[in-house]
Amino acid sequence: MYANSLIELDRAHLIHPVASYRSHEKHGVRVLASAKGATVTDASGKQLIDGFAGLWCVNAGYGHESIVEAAARQMQELPYATAYFGLGSEPAIRLASELADRAPGDLNHVYFTLGGSDAVDSTIRFIRYYWNARGRPERDQFISVEQGYHGSSTAGAGLTALPAFHAGFGLPFDWQHKIPSHYAYRNPVGDDPQAIIEASLAALKSKVEAIGPERVAAFYVEPIQGSGGVLVPPKGWVKAMREFCREHDILFVADEVITGFGRTGPLFACSEEEVVPDFITTAKGLTSGYVPMGAVFMADHVYETIAEGAGATAIGHGYTYSAHPVSAAVGLEVLKLYENGLLQNGVRAGARLMRGLQSLRDHPLVGDVRGRGMLAAVELVVDKSNKTPLPSSAEPARRIFDRAWENGLVIRAFANGVLGYAPPLCCTETEIDAIVERTRITLDETL
């Protein structure tokens, strides 16, 4: 009864992100009521393992008393402090410093946002400011990668290369360009790592030449493409792209909104390839989803150029809730948890998850299994021999999602037949095994 009335209220009033409003009205909302560890409980009392950590974000798992206490303490002491007018708060300053200590290379400057989309959007503004400050205003063209996701802010949605984020909006993005993804399972050059790296380098080179090398401002990558279907580039790909950008004086942005904070193992995925970008964008695992926060990491040379360029003039970029003290207090506590065992547990659990999902390769529907750490995907196909994809529509995905739900598992079922996994890093071995087992049952029922 309680849930039914909520369903009606939701239908009437709550606009859901990235949803067909009409099919949402038809199907109705599933109301989540509580959660602990890696388990969520819905309004009817049904318990499920959250194999997707909310939206790839609750890396620490649910219900950590110490996080709740850190937030409550901060709310009592100082629930809000602006970072405008030269003001600040202790948790925000400390978090910026702790993060800079751990970030790769000279990414020593941190700008806090409310999430990932505005982190990406902030980089676009900073990058424009940077090139203007360097006296190169013509460097105003941006490149990203097909299948990439960089949020849905008005400018950042253009860097996002997923059709739903463009269709129907009609916003002009003629200053944004794409190169093909490294997507190994469906790459025209095959799945040889070196061939994929060379193809991406050639594509970037010819894109830069087509735009005009003196026009290109920045290149954006995800160390692993998340929303495009968990597409893992070959080892060396990120480094090769970074080196190309360095040689051509193009700023290199690593969007680590998903891959950051232990999702693939370390705090920053690009450190696995010893890559130091000019910017890193993060969100999600930064606060483990308990409160909203994102962060832009900026390299020394970018910061200095912007600062010098502006001189005594204010750089007009800011949000009321930038460097929010409650979010920062949560971020500090979450960082402690990562370093007191969570990252290690994630590495162990991630290896078990990959082994388990790989064992599904014998299933007639499974075409590919890929991932790193606690970030993985199973790609379903109609016919393994020729990799015929599932019909690209929301309905089959919804059916698989619903079946998995009935089996006590939350996964992401993408419309192209890819199942996404990003469980909390706190998962036990039993929970990881249950994720795999429940997936197999779901696939059997889907056949």
Q: Which residue number, 150 or 438, has a Cβ lying nearer to ligand PLP?
A: 150
Q: H or E element: which one contains 197?
A: helix 193-211
The 266-285 contact track toward ligand PLP, x by CB under 6 A, reads -----------------x--
CA distance 202 to 197: 9
Nearest distance from residue 114's CB to ligand PLP, in Å? 8
On the 0-12 / 13-18 / 19+ scale of CB atoms within 10 A, 238 is buried
Contact between 150 and ligand PLP per CB under 6 A:
yes
Closest approach of ligand PLP to the CB of residue 149, in Å = 5
Task: State how far the Cα of 431 lies from the Cα of 349, in Å rounded to an integer.
Answer: 9
Contacts with 93 (C-beta within 8 Å, 6 or more apart), sequence order: none
What minimum distance in Å lies between the beta carbon of 118 and ligand PLP? 7
Distances (CA, A) of 366 to 18, 148, 371, 379, 384: 26, 23, 14, 6, 7
* Burial group, residue 303, by CB count within 10 angstroms (0-12, 13-18, 19+): middle
Stretch that binds ligand PLP, among 35-43, 116-124, 327-335, 356-364 (CB under 6 A): 116-124
- State in angstroms the smallest separation of the CB of 133 from ligand PLP: 25
Using rule CB under 6 A, residue 338 touches ligand PLP: no
Check residue 226 for interaction with ligand PLP (CB under 6 A). Answer: yes
Q: Per-residue DSSP letters for 98-128?
A: HHHHHSSTT--EEEEESSHHHHHHHHHHHHH
262 part of the interface to ligand PLP, by CB under 6 A: no
Compute the least distance from the CB of residue 179 to ligand PLP, in Å: 17
Per CB under 6 A, 222 contacts ligand PLP: yes
Smallest gap from residue 194 Cβ to ligand PLP (A) = 26
Half-sphere exposure of 224 (CA within 13 A, CB side): 28
Contact between 149 and ligand PLP per CB under 6 A: yes
| Minimal distance, residue 444 CB to ligand PLP, in Å | 30
Paired tokens of 365: 């529907």
* DSSP H helices in 311-368: 325-337, 343-358
Write the interaction track for ligand PLP spanning residues 182-221; mark x where CB under 6 A is met and - where it is not.
Answer: ----------------------------------------
**Nearest approach, Cβ of residue 245 and ligand PLP (Å):** 18
Number of residues that bind ligand PLP (CB under 6 A): 14
Q: How far is the CB of 257 from ligand PLP (least distance, A)?
A: 3
Q: What is the 3-state secondary structure (H, E, C) of 366-419?
A: EEEEEEECCEEEEEEEEECCCCEECCCCHHHHHHHHHHHHHCCEECEECCCCEE
Within its chain, how far is the Cα of 278 from the centroid? 18
SS3 at position 93: helix
Cα-based angle 102, 103, 108 (whole degrees, multiple of 5): 105
Nearer to ligand PLP, 254 or 335 (CB): 254
The encoded tokens of residue 320 equal 């009321």
Examine residue 227 and tell whether it contacts ligand PLP (CB under 6 A): yes
Nearer to ligand PLP, 120 or 380 (CB): 120
Q: Which is nearer to ligand PLP, 150 or 363 (CB)?
A: 150
Beta bridge partners of residue 113, listed in sequence order: 294
Binding to ligand PLP (CB under 6 A) within 294-333 occurs at none
Q: Contact between 121 and ligand PLP (CB under 6 A)?
A: no
CA distance 204 to 245: 9
Q: Please identify the residue of the shown chain whose CB is closest to the bound ligand PLP.
A: 116
Candidates 63-71, 112-120, 228-236, 342-350; binding stretch for ligand PLP (CB under 6 A): 112-120
Q: Closest separation between CB of residue 113 and ligand PLP, Å?
A: 9
Q: Which residues bind ligand PLP (CB under 6 A)?
A: 115-117, 120, 149-151, 222, 226-227, 255, 257-258, 283
